[in-house]
């Protein structure tokens, strides 16, 4: 079973923030998921303590994909909230 240290989960919003910085620097939005996975793999290899390289890469992929999911869900929730606020006015 793969154990992910609690501090590794804190890397998800950090990856998300780095992706947002890349977008501000004019990176095409379509490359955001790829960049997230790459950053996740790098974080898994260099930051998360693991017993083997494949394990670190797997954790990194999970971190990158989780950050993409966080971005996607946040992006979908915010327009819904704005729509509800306009309907209430």
Q: What is the pTM of this model?
A: 0.74
The rounded distance, in Å, linking the Cα atoms of 62 and 47 is: 14
pLDDT tens per residue, the chain (89 residues)?
Answer: 566 667 778 898 999 899 999 999 999 988 988 999 999 999 999 988 778 899 889 989 999 988 888 666 666 666 666 666 766 66
Range of the domain at 72: 28-88
**Residue 69 included in any domain:** yes
**Residue 17 included in any domain:** no
Query: Residue 8: left if φ>0, alpha if ψ -120 to 50, beta else—which one?
Result: alpha
**Residue 6 included in any domain:** no
**Residue 16 included in any domain:** no
**Residue 43 included in any domain:** yes
Q: How many structural domains are present in the chain?
A: 1
**Residue 57 included in any domain:** yes
The rounded distance, in Å, linking the Cα atoms of 22 and 2 is: 30
């Amino acid at each position: 079973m793969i154990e992910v240290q609690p501090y590794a989960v804190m890397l998800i919003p950090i990856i998300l923030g780095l992706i947002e910085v890349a977008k501000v620097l004019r990176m095409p939005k379509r490359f955001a998921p790829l960049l997230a996975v790459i950053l996740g793999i790098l974080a898994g290899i260099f930051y998360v303590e693991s017993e083997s390289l494949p394990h670190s890469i797997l954790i990194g992929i999970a971190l990158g994909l989780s950050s993409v999911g966080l971005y996607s869900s946040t992006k979908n929730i915010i327009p819904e909230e704005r729509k509800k606020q306009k309907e209430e006015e």
